[in-house]
Amino acid sequence: KQYDCVLQILLLSSDSTDDFSLHCIKEITMDSIIFDVDGTLWDSRALVAEGYNLQLRDEGLTRYCVDAARLRPLFGKVMTVIADELFADFPPAERYALMERCMARENAYLQKNECRIGYPGIVEALRTLAGTHRLFIVSNSQRGYPELCIEKLGLGDCIRGHLCFGNTGTSKGKTIRTLMEKYNITSCAYIGDTQGDLEATVEAGVPFIWAAYGFDTPSAFDLRIDTPLDLVQLEREGKL
């Protein structure tokens, strides 16, 4: 498909620095914007760790307990990869079953928590963008997690649809394409924070907007935001 955008990729060097809030290297026009969750909409690492640890302690597996720092490099990866990292001592079937139980406990824990973990300005930014674009979510998470994020941030009237690894069982790039086909999206960008998000956009064939306030530094991006409200500025400049 042909997308109504002008692509220009910047490869980041390890010593490059920017002292301004927006590093815009392309012009894009699009009807939809797709968001990552962790490191883009909110930072749930501490609460996720607490949910995992409740389950691990109940099962007498306290030596596998985690904290936010341990989860940081794992966020954005699919659940099987996270299980391989956290529970490598277990045979595959057992580690994936344990991961499922931890994620179920995580969802239950997040549901009971107020979850005041949205990035400053994210709700205002999405509510503004929802007036001009269709907004969606694609995550590598388990089923139920995008819905929790939408509910806790109060974005039910802004997000038109969502898909995750738990729904599709495919790579994030393929999940993005599946969502695009499901909702007849012909021009969009994906906003995320990790190298994996960049690679997903390459696979999906869509522009990548890097949320630089998140967890990782990707090797390239099409647009950069340093705060969620930078998206509003990009919209005002006609770059979205």
Q: What pLDDT score does 16 carry?
A: 42
Residue 7 pLDDT > 70, yes or no?
no
- End-to-end Cα distance, the chain: 19
Gap between the Cα atoms of 77 and 165, Å rounded:
10
Q: Say whether 168 sits in a helix, a strand or coil.
A: helix
Tokens representing 115? 């979850």
Torsion of CA 83, 72, 234, 197, to 10 degrees: -30
Q: What pLDDT score does 26 carry?
A: 43
Q: Find out whether 186 and 133 touch, Cβ atoms under 8 Å.
A: no
Q: What pLDDT score does 28 carry?
A: 52
Count of beta carbons in the 10 Å neighbourhood of residue 115: 17
Gap between the Cα atoms of 210 and 194, Å rounded:
8
Q: Residue 189 — φ and ψ, nearest 5°?
A: -135, 160
Residue 11: which pLDDT band, with cuts at 50, 70 and 90? very low
Q: Over the stretch 198-240, which tens digit does the pLDDT of each residue have?
A: 999 999 999 999 999 999 999 999 999 999 999 999 999 999 9
Q: Find out whether 44 and 60 touch, Cβ atoms under 8 Å.
A: no
Q: Over the stretch 117-176, which tens digit does the pLDDT of each residue have?
A: 999 999 999 999 999 999 999 999 999 999 999 999 999 999 999 999 999 999 999 999
Q: Over the stretch 19-59, which tens digit does the pLDDT of each residue have?
A: 333 333 344 579 999 999 999 999 999 999 999 999 999 99
Tell which wins on pLDDT, 60 or 30.
Answer: 60
Count of beta carbons in the 10 Å neighbourhood of residue 130: 16
